[in-house]
Structure formats: C-alpha cells, structure tokens
Homo-oligomer: A and B are copies of this chain.
Amino acid sequence: MKYEETTRRRNVIYKGKIVALRRDDALLPNGQACVREVVEHPGGACVLCLHEGKVVLVRQFRYAYGEELLEIPAGKLEGGEDPAAAAKRELEEETGLRAERMNLLFTLYPSPGYCDEKIYLYEAEQVTSGVRHPDRDEFLDVCELAPETAFRYMEEGVIRDAKTIVALLFLKEKLSAGH
C-alpha cells in the first residue's frame, strides 16, 4: 500500500550554521492534519580507509554528547559539493591521506524520523600519505587501529558512531569473505 504525507505549509523556525529546523503543517495519509518537525542538513561524506593494513579513525570531542568519539573521517558537504570530492577532501584534511578513488558503499539515512541528512559512505582506494591540514576549529587525533582491535571496540561499545559501525561491519564481512 502506498502512503504519502503532504505539506500544507512550510514553517522555518531556524536557519543556522550546520542545521536548519522546520515545523511544517502537513496532512497524514488519511487526510488528518499533523505537525512534522524536520531538521535540515546539507548531507555528509565519510570514508572507510585502510592504511598499511590498519583502519583509519579520528578521535574528537563531540559537543552534542559531551564525549570524545572514535569515528571514520567525515564531514559535511560544502555548498552542493560532490560527495566523493568531499570524502577525499575530508580524508586529506583530517588524516593527510590521499585516495585516488572513492568507491560508494552506502547512502545512509541516519535518523529518518525527523532529519533529512544523507551520509555517503565511501571506501578509499589507492591510498597514499600526504600532509594533514585540519580546519582551524577541528581538534582531532588520527588513530590507526588493526581491524581486529576496531571490531572489538565496536563490540564493546567503545565505538558508537553509526556510520563507523556500518563501515566496520562491512569491512569485517569483506575480510572474512576474503575478497
């Protein structure tokens, strides 16, 4: 069966640096009025990258959680940027590594109940070393882990970021299948 909700009125509550927020008047599939809150986000790109056999992660403080998290390199799309280009840029800015090619693994919808963000998850191919040049307001450490260590961190809940868990589960399956 096909369900659809329709917009009666878009109401912008906030337009900020990273997110915007709407509180729309909409109609449910049965025609009943409802309110839908939507967090708008420009989308992001992230990279599963192996360097000398290790998984490349970055550790940074995440204000929303008040915690340091271990994540794969990632960042938001700048002004309609191509996601593969953004993935290359973020990888190089954050870790100094360059990838010749980016292979799209998944387009992830992180929280579809209220958010329109799309996260493009790539696998870096033909990786070479370069020079780090993080954004001025980015404070992070690069952390290269043996795959087995990364998998254990994921299983123990040390790694909690969803896109990173998708990347690690993908890698685990790939390594066990012996591709």
Contacts and interface: CB of A to CB of B under 8 A. Distances in A.
Interface of A: 1-5, 13-14, 16-19, 21, 23-24, 26, 28-30, 32, 34-39, 41, 44, 60-65, 68-69, 71, 74, 76, 106-117, 119, 137, 139-141, 154, 157, 160-163, 165-166, 169-170, 172-173, 176-177
Nearest to A7: B63
Nearest to A167: B169
A177 to B, nearest CB: 8
Given A3-B141, A109-B161, 17 more contacts: A13-B21, A26-B63, A28-B137, A32-B137, A34-B137, A39-B64, A64-B113, A106-B154, A106-B160, A107-B160, A108-B162, A109-B160, A109-B162, A110-B110, A111-B119, A162-B162, A162-B166
A18 B137 contact: no
Contacts of A13: 13-14, 21
